[in-house]
Amino acid sequence: MNTAAPATQNGVSVSVRGLWKRFADQPALQGVDLEVNRGEIFVIMGPSGSGKSVLLRHLIGLEQPDAGQILIDGQSIQSPGVMDRVRMAMVFQSGALLNSLSVGENVGLYLAEHHLKTPAEIARVVAEKLELVGLKGLEERSPAELSGGMKKRVAIARALVIEPQLILYDEPTSELDPLSAVTVAEEIMKLKRRIQVTSLVVTHDRDLAFGVADRIAMIRDGKILFVGTPEAVQHHSDPLIQKFITAEFNQTNPRNDL
């Protein structure tokens, strides 16, 4: 079981080695290799269906790979105890809030279930995290009464409560208005500064990616095409990558590739 979160805790490094995953009819990951450093904000971009969510699910142990390895601080996540020792959190693409609980209970769930704090302290932490994501005072609401973007922000608050060493965001700014998107981006940066958390951010949002990333990986059809700093991505010559990061709405010449 997880122990109480010390206030300052360094992030962990993540290595993915030759990860393969096939679902019944199609391959989702085809030999993914990645090295993510401690405390880094690592952004993964790529077209829809390229395997980004599947990759994140492997990292947090929700899927078992067909082949390959995931190392956290050099230790395989298969080896016993690693998943219990390292505090991880994931912000799901859909939010994945528990519908039978209130917003406040959702955010405080981790602390309550692991008996890490007293109910009064939990209430305080929940209020603080909700305020952080701009949802002050919504503790009593039910998730069904929230908009998509609000759910996403509650999910982020829920992840922050864990004080994770590794946090995985699956499209944290989709469904958010530009202002909330900026808030989320700032929060991702702040978290890195405050607790040196390692962050993996899957996103289509170019502003978010180039705004927060230390490095960016491009993934397509379950394969990593390229890893580099935001500048390197912007100046990369590969036409696919260029098309992806510069795609713009063009009425006279609609694109139908990519």
Partner 1 sequence: MFQNIGEMLVLLWRTLQALPQTWRQRRKVSEQLFEIGNASLLMACILSLFIGGVIALQTGPVLVQRGISSFLGGIIGLSMCKELGPVMMAVLIAGRIGSAMTAEIGSMQVYQEIDALRTMNINPIRYLVLPRLVAISLALPTLVVFSVLVGWIGGALVCVYNRQIGISFEAYFSNLQNVVEFKDVFNGLIKSLVFAVIIGVVCCHQGLVTLGGPRGIGRSVTKAVVNSIVLILILDYLLTRVLLYWD
**Which residues would be at the binding site for ligand ATP (CB under 6 A)?**
23, 26, 28, 46, 48-54, 93
Identify what 109 binds: ligand ATP, partner 1, Mg ion, none; CB under 5 to 8 Å per kind: partner 1
Taking the C-alpha atoms of residue 214 and residue 197, their distance in angstroms, rounded to an integer, is 13
* Cβ 3 vs Cβ 84: under 8 Å: no
Task: Give me the residues paired with residue 44 across strands.
Answer: 202, 217
Check residue 92 for interaction with partner 1 (CB under 8 A): yes
Of residues 46 and 164, the one with the C-beta less far from ligand ATP: 46
* Cβ 157 vs Cβ 133: under 8 Å: yes
Check residue 142 for interaction with partner 1 (CB under 8 A): no
Rounded-to-10 torsion of CA 60, 89, 82, 3 = -160
Q: At its nearest, how many Å lie between Mg ion and the CB of residue 41? A: 19
Check residue 203 for interaction with Mg ion (CB under 5 A): no
* Cβ 46 vs Cβ 245: under 8 Å: no
DSSP string, 60-117: TTSS--SEEEEEETTEETTSTTHHHHS-EEEE-TT----TTS-HHHHHHHHHHHTT-S
Q: Which of residues 35-94 bind Mg ion (CB under 5 A)?
A: 53, 93
Identify what 61 binds: ligand ATP, partner 1, Mg ion, none; CB under 5 to 8 Å per kind: partner 1
CA–CA distances in Å: residue 164 to residues 3, 37, 127, 160, 251: 12, 15, 18, 7, 44
Q: Which of residues 161-220 bind partner 1 (CB under 8 A)?
A: 162
Of residues 45 and 135, the one with the C-beta less far from Mg ion: 45
Identify what 54 binds: ligand ATP, Mg ion, partner 1, none; CB under 5 to 8 Å per kind: ligand ATP
Q: At its nearest, how many Å lie between ligand ATP and the CB of residue 125? A: 30
Residues that bind partner 1 (CB under 8 A): 1-2, 57, 60-62, 83-84, 88-90, 92, 94, 96-100, 109-110, 113-115, 158, 162
